[in-house]
Structure formats: C-alpha cells, structure tokens
Amino acid sequence: MTEKETNIKEQDNEQENEELKVVMPEAEWTTMPEEEFAEQPDYLRVFTDFYIAKFNQRDLEIMNTYDPDSNMVDINHYVMDNIKFSRNELVKHALQYHANNFQNIVDEIVKQDSIKPEEMTSYSDWDNWYEDRRNNISTSLS
C-alpha cells in the first residue's frame, strides 16, 4: 500500500470514528416537591398517635367496639404497609390519607361515651379513657 493510500485510509477511519462518537446529554435533575400535609385538629393528631401506639402493642380489641363501619381495616392496612416510618412521620402520613377513618372512630366514641374530644389533648387523656373502658368490661367466671 502506498503512502497516499494509507493516508486516505486513515482519513476514512477518522471520519468513521467521528460519526460514531457518542454524545452524552447533560443530566437534568428534578426533585419531587415536598408533600404538603392538611391541617388537622390537635385531638385527632393525639388520637392517631395513641391509636398507632395501641396498634404497635397489639391492643386494639376495645377500640374495635367503636368501629361499626370497619374503618380500622383501612387504617391498619395502611399502618402495616408503612411501619418503617418513625411514629411521628407515620402519624402525619396516616392522617393525610385516613383522617376521615380516624374521625369516624372518634365520632363513635363521642356517641357511645359522651366525651369531648377537644378536651382530649394528650396521650395520657386517651390512655386513661382506654383503661377506663377496659376496667368497665364485665367479666364472668364460667
């Protein structure tokens, strides 16, 4: 092969390599907007925290008497699916998607026990109410 032919072949190879050059586009970074949580009444946030604590303790038997519409099924399913959240995060997220279910249970508690949920502003308020309900369960020796 002559020098002229070699130069022509090298030029063809260079052109071929330029045509096959891969050009990477610049990365476009997008971030998801932070989730906005609906404002909830204090008593409902505290009740949700109390409910999740009882769920973790596997102690919802008494709560079941205040749930004729099976709201607990939806709540418990959501809590199980998101159990890896910290409790504060789980309370926020559970209220975001199930505030209506929690409110239905609170409404039934109000109806059956005549409590004022607005006055139930601490975990211990709900815990005392729950223990009182537990103590009022009739027992039999059969």
What are 44-88's pLDDT values in tens digits? 999 999 999 999 999 999 999 999 999 999 999 999 999 999 999
Identify whether the C-beta of residue 126 lies closer than 8 Å to the C-beta of residue 54.
no
pTM exceeds 0.75, yes or no: no
pLDDT of residue 43: 94
CA torsion 83-60-131-98 (nearest 10°) is: 60
Residue pair 89/123 in contact (Cβ under 8 Å)? The answer is no
| Mean of pLDDT values over 114-121 | 92
| pLDDT of 21 | 66
47 vs 11, residue with greater confidence = 47
Instruction: Give, for 35, the enclosing helix (H) or strand (E).
Output: none
